[in-house]
A and B are shown apart, each in its own frame.
Chain A
Amino acid sequence: MKQRQPFFALPWLRLAFGVSASRTIGVVVFSIIVLMCIFQPIFSPYQANEFVAMAFQPPSWEHPFGTDAVGRDLFVRTWEGGRINLVAAAIVTGFSLILGTTLGTLAGSSRRRWIDSLIMRVVDAVIAFPLVILLLALVVVIGTDRAWGPAPAGLIASMVALMCVMWAGYARMARGQSLAMRESDFVLATRVSGLSNSRIVLRHIAPGVGRITLALAVSDIVLVVTILSSLPFLGAGVQPPAAEWGSIMYEGRGFLRQAWWITLLPGAVVAITGLSLSFVADSLLDSRSKK
C-alpha cells in the first residue's frame, strides 16, 4: 500500500530520509566528492607535497582548509588523499564482495556438507580474530616500506590485509541468504523443472544474494576508508609524506589546540563521504525489500 509521492511534496524530514530522496542526496554528495578528488589536484596551482605558505595558516580564500605544520596546502592534500582512499576502498570492497559472495553462495547452496563446513570454519576463524591485531600483523608481514607503482608505501600492505579480513563478512551473509533461498518455492520450482545445479545457483540464487551483499558493500566502503585512515595512528598504513586522509589527520593530532583545521576539515570530508554512502546503501536496501 506504500505509495510514491512527488518529490517536492515531501516534508523536509521525509526529504532527508525518504527512499528516493536519500538516494538522490547520497548520489549527488558522493559525486561532488569524487569529482573534487578527480579535478581539484589537476587544476590546483599547488602540488600536494609543495611547501606553499607559512605553516599553521588558518583557512582562508587562498588556502580553504589552511596549511599544515610544514606549510603544505591542506585543501589540495585532502582531495589528493581522497584519490588514494576512495580508490583503495573501492578495490578492497569490490574484491571482498566478489570473493565473499562467491564463497558464501557456494557454501550455502552446495549439496556437499564438507564444502560448507570448510568455508564457514575459515570465515569463523577470520571473524573471531581481533580485527586490529590481525590487520597490524598482516600489514607488518607484508611490509610497509616500499612503494608499488602509483601506490605510496604501505598502501598495498593495508589493502591486502583488509581484503583478507573483509571477505569473511560477505561470505557469512551470502551463505545465510542462499540457505534461505534454497528453501524457497522458486528454487524448488527450478529443481522440479530439472534445471542444472549450476544454472539454479548462477541465475536463481546468486542474483538475489548479490543484491543484498552489494548493498552491504556500498555501506562498507566507508568502513574501509575509516580503517585505512586510522591505520596511520597505529604506525601502520600509508606512510608519510603521501597525502592520505589518515596520515593527514595523524600529522595534525599533535597541534589540535593551535591548528584544529589540520585534523577537523579532512575529518569532515571523511564523515560526509561516509554519510553520503550510507544514504545510498540505505536506499538500495529499501528498494530491494519493496515488492
Chain B
Amino acid sequence: MTTSTTPLLTVEGLNVHLGGRDVLHDVGFTIAKGDSLALVGESGSGKTVTARVVTGLIDRINGKVTGGSVKFDGQELVNAGPGTWTALRGKRIALVPQASLSSLDPVMRIGKQLAETIAVLDPGADTGARALELLDQVQMPRPEQILRAFPHELSGGMRQRVMIALALAGRPELVVADEPTTALDVTVQAGILKLLGDLRKETGMTLLMIAHDLAVVKMVSENVAVMRAGRLIEAGPTKTVLTVPVHAYTQALLAARPETSTPGSPLSILDRETGELRSPTATERVATEGKRIVQLDNVSVTYRHAAAPAVAPMSLDIHEGASIGIVGESGSGKTTLGRVIVGALAPSTGEVLVHGKTWKQIRGRNPLRRDVQMIFQDPYGSLTPWRTPRHAVAEVLRRWTDISAPDALDRAGQLLEEVGLPTGVFDKYPAKLSGGQCQRVGIARALASEPRLIVADEPTSSLDISAQAQILNLLMSLRASHGLSLVIVSHDLSVIRHMTDEALVMRHGVIVEHGASTKLFSDPDHEYTRQLVDATPTLA
C-alpha cells in the first residue's frame, strides 16, 4: 500500500441538519490517496450521515449541509449539481451499502444487474466479459453460474460480494463502504474484510469505511475516527487509538467489549450524560440447590419439506444456576433449539421435560409454565406495538399472581425500574423506545413470572456495544440475585465466553462441540470451533 501525501478526500467543519436536528457538528478529516479511514460510532453518531454527504445522497433523506466543505480531489462536493455527481458517482466515488437482500433487484439475474451498471459506468466495454472479470475480482466462486442466478439464490456473503463488484464496476478511486459486514456470519465477515484488504492492494483504491465494531476496523483500516453524537472525538492510526485511546468515550467503547474483561465480571459502562466510565460491582450470588429444571431427551426438529433436520437428535440437562451458551452461525439451528427449550416449538422427536413434565402437559395456568421464559432477538418485534411496557409486564403479573389491576401496574413499575428502564417511558408505546430500552422491557416481562430459567435468543445482536454491555450486566446480576439459570443463544463468541460456564457449538443442526466455555474458545477440539475462533475479530 503506497501512501502519498496528497489528500483525496478532505472534509472540513461539516455541519448537517436532518430531521429537525443538527446531526453533524464540525466534522473534519482527510484521507490520502490510496489510504483508508474507518468511521466508528454507535447508532445515531452521524457516521452514516457523513457517508451520505460524501456520496452525495444526503438530499435523498432530506438532509441539508449547513456548513463546511467536502473536497474530493480538489473538487467541492457540498451542493454540487446533478451533473457533477453524474460524472463522479460510480466512476470515481462508489458506495457499498449494508449487506442486505434489498440492495439487489430481486427479479433480475446477477449478470443483468452487473451488465446494466457496467453499461452506464464503462460504456464500450464488453459487459459479459467485464461482469465475469468483476466477479473474479471479488473472489466469487463459480462466477459463470452466479451470473445466471437470482439474488435470493445467493448467500448473504455472496450478495455482499456482488455489491462490492457493482461498486468496482466504474473503477472508482474512492470506495465508501457502509457497514459492509453487519448481519453477516463471522466466517463470512472475515472473508469480506480480507477481500476489501486485497482489493485495496490490487487496485490502490481509497477506502472510507463505516463500522460500529472497533475490532472489525482493525482488520481493514490503518486509520480510524471515532464519532459520537455527531462529533468526531478522536482520530488517528488504528493501532494507537485501539491501544492508547485518549478520549473517555473511546476507552468506554473498548472497555465495554466482553472479550477484554474477565468472564463473569461486570462490564464497564459509559455514562451517557457525563461521559465517564463506570465499573459496576458484581452482585453477590444466592445459593441454588442445583436441581434439574429442563431436560432435553434425544430432541430433534425437522421442519416440514426440509431435507435435513434443523436440530439433529441431542440431549441436554439444564440445572439451577447454570449458564449455558449455544453458539453457531445463521442456519445452525441455534434459535430453533432455543425455541424448543421454552416450549414455543414442539420437537419432532424426543421430549423436553420441565421438572419431569413435557410442554404438552403444561397447559393453562400450570405454574411450570412460569419457570422457563424467553428473551428475543428483535427487541421491537417482541413487544406488541399497542401495549405499553407497564401493561405488558402487568398482564403477566396478573396471570400468575392474584393481585388487583392497580397493584399489578405498581408492581410492573417496580420491575421495570429494577431492569433499569427510565421511568419516563413506562407508559409510552414501544415504537418510541430505543432498542436497548425495548430489550429491558422484554427482560422485565420475562422476570414478571419469576422464572427459574431464561433463554435469551441473541439478546444483544441488534444493540450498540454500550447497550450490549448494560444488558449483559443486567442478565448477569439477575442471574446472581435471583439464582436464575441462563441459556444464551448467540453468534458472538465473546458474549458466550463472557456470560456462560458451558457452551455448545452448533453447525447445520449438529452439536459439534460441547464443553466448558473458557476451554472451548481457547483450546477448541473441533475444526469448526477453531475456524469460528479464528474468524472472530479481536482487538488483541
Question: Which residues does A use to contact B, with CB under 8 Å?
Answer: 1, 3-4, 184-196, 199, 203-204, 207-208, 211, 291
Residue of A nearest to B393 (CB): A193
Residue of A nearest to B373 (CB): A192
Interface residue tally on B, bucketed by range: 35 or more
Of residues 359 through 413 on chain B, the ones whose CB sits less than 8 Å from some CB of chain A are: 364-365, 369-370, 372-374, 376-378, 380-387, 395-396, 399-400
Q: Which of A184, A186, A190, A204 has the most CB of B within 10 A?
A: A186
CB of A115 to closest CB in B, whole Å:
19
Say yes or no for B307: interface residue by CB 8 A criterion.
no
Q: Which of B18, B62, B386, B445 contacts A189 (CB 8 A)?
A: B445
Q: Which of B20, B344, B399 contacts A188 (CB 8 A)?
A: B344
Say yes or no for B416: interface residue by CB 8 A criterion.
no
CB of A284 to closest CB in B, whole Å:
15
Residues of A within 8 A of B364 (CB): 196
Given contacts A188-B339, A192-B374, A291-B380, list 7 more A-B pairs with CB under 8 A: A184-B381, A185-B376, A186-B382, A194-B369, A199-B399, A203-B384, A203-B395
Residues of A within 8 A of B448 (CB): 193
Residue of B nearest to A6 (CB): B20
7 contacts between A and B (CB under 8 A): A189-B374, A192-B344, A193-B448, A194-B400, A196-B364, A196-B399, A211-B386
- State in angstroms the CA–CA spacing of A193 and B399 once bound together: 9
CB of B304 to closest CB in A, whole Å:
14
Residues of B within 8 A of A189 (CB): 374, 376, 382-383, 442, 445
CB of B474 to closest CB in A, whole Å:
18
Is A192 touching B343 in the complex (CB atoms < 8 A)? yes
Residues of A within 8 A of B61 (CB): 1
- State in angstroms the CA–CA spacing of A188 and B365 once bound together: 17
Is A185 touching B382 in the complex (CB atoms < 8 A)? yes
Say yes or no for B74: interface residue by CB 8 A criterion.
no
Decide yes or no: A199 and B344 within 8 Å by CB, A189-B374, A193-B449 being known contacts: no
Say yes or no for B342: interface residue by CB 8 A criterion.
yes
Decide yes or no: A3 and B399 within 8 Å by CB, A186-B382, A189-B445, A208-B386 being known contacts: no
Is B62 touching A204 in the complex (CB atoms < 8 A)? no
Residues of B within 8 A of A190 (CB): 384
Residues of B within 8 A of A208 (CB): 384-386
- State in angstroms the CA–CA spacing of A192 and B345 once bound together: 10
CB of B391 to closest CB in A, whole Å:
8
CB of A264 to closest CB in B, whole Å:
42
Residues of B within 8 A of A203 (CB): 384, 387, 395
Q: Which of A189, A192, A195, A208 has the most CB of B within 10 A?
A: A192
Say yes or no for B422: interface residue by CB 8 A criterion.
no
- State in angstroms the CA–CA spacing of A211 and B429 once bound together: 15
Is B395 touching A186 in the complex (CB atoms < 8 A)? no
Residue of A nearest to B19 (CB): A3
Residues of B within 8 A of A192 (CB): 342-344, 372-374
Is A3 touching B374 in the complex (CB atoms < 8 A)? no
Residue of B nearest to A206 (CB): B386
Is A207 touching B386 in the complex (CB atoms < 8 A)? yes
Residues of A within 8 A of B445 (CB): 189, 193
CB of B308 to closest CB in A, whole Å:
22
- State in angstroms the CA–CA spacing of A149 and B377 once bound together: 59
- State in angstroms the CA–CA spacing of A291 and B379 once bound together: 14
Decide yes or no: A3 and B62 within 8 Å by CB, A185-B378, A195-B396 being known contacts: yes
Say yes or no for B431: interface residue by CB 8 A criterion.
yes
Of residues 324 through 370 on chain B, the ones whose CB sits less than 8 Å from some CB of chain A are: 339, 342-344, 364-365, 369-370
- State in angstroms the CA–CA spacing of A291 and B438 once bound together: 14
Decide yes or no: A186 and B381 within 8 Å by CB, A192-B343, A203-B387 being known contacts: yes
Is A291 touching B399 in the complex (CB atoms < 8 A)? no
- State in angstroms the CA–CA spacing of A3 and B386 once bound together: 22
Residues of A within 8 A of B382 (CB): 185-186, 188-189
The 4 A-B residue pairs with the shortest CB-CB distance in the complex, in nearest-first order:
A3-B19, A194-B369, A185-B382, A185-B381
Is B449 touching A3 in the complex (CB atoms < 8 A)? no
Residues of B within 8 A of A199 (CB): 395, 399
- State in angstroms the CA–CA spacing of A81 and B385 once bound together: 41
Decide yes or no: A194 and B395 within 8 Å by CB, A185-B378, A189-B376 being known contacts: no
CB of B335 to closest CB in A, whole Å:
11
Residue of B nearest to A184 (CB): B381
Residue of B nearest to A288 (CB): B385
Q: Which of B20, B378, B384, B446 contacts A204 (CB 8 A)?
A: B384
Residues of B within 8 A of A3 (CB): 18-20, 62
Residue of A nearest to B49 (CB): A1
Residue of A nearest to B457 (CB): A185
CB of B442 to closest CB in A, whole Å:
7
- State in angstroms the CA–CA spacing of A211 and B385 once bound together: 12
Residues of A within 8 A of B399 (CB): 193-196, 199
Residues of A within 8 A of B19 (CB): 1, 3
CB of A104 to closest CB in B, whole Å:
18
Residue of B nearest to A200 (CB): B384
Of residues 1 through 58 on chain B, the ones whose CB sits less than 8 Å from some CB of chain A are: 18-20
Is B384 touching A186 in the complex (CB atoms < 8 A)? yes
Of residues 413 through 465 on chain B, the ones whose CB sits less than 8 Å from some CB of chain A are: 431, 442, 445-446, 448-449
- State in angstroms the CA–CA spacing of A203 and B377 once bound together: 22
Residues of A within 8 A of B18 (CB): 1, 3
Decide yes or no: A194 and B376 within 8 Å by CB, A1-B61, A189-B442, A291-B431 being known contacts: no
Residue of B nearest to A194 (CB): B369
CB of B62 to closest CB in A, whole Å:
6
Residue of B nearest to A195 (CB): B399
- State in angstroms the CA–CA spacing of A267 and B365 once bound together: 59
Of residues 256 through 282 on chain B, the ones whose CB sits less than 8 Å from some CB of chain A are: none
- State in angstroms the CA–CA spacing of A1 and B18 once bound together: 9
CB of A6 to closest CB in B, whole Å:
9
- State in angstroms the CA–CA spacing of A184 and B381 once bound together: 7
- State in angstroms the CA–CA spacing of A184 and B376 once bound together: 11
Residues of A within 8 A of B369 (CB): 194
Residues of B within 8 A of A188 (CB): 339, 344, 374, 376, 382
Q: Which of A4, A196, A207 contacts B20 (CB 8 A)?
A: A4
- State in angstroms the CA–CA spacing of A179 and B509 once bound together: 28
Residue of A nearest to B370 (CB): A194
Residue of A nearest to B52 (CB): A1
- State in angstroms the CA–CA spacing of A186 and B385 once bound together: 9
- State in angstroms the CA–CA spacing of A186 and B448 once bound together: 16
Residues of A within 8 A of B343 (CB): 192
Residues of A within 8 A of B449 (CB): 193-194
Decide yes or no: A193 and B373 within 8 Å by CB, A1-B61, A3-B19, A207-B386 being known contacts: yes
Is B396 touching A193 in the complex (CB atoms < 8 A)? yes
Decide yes or no: A186 and B344 within 8 Å by CB, A194-B365, A194-B370, A195-B396 being known contacts: no
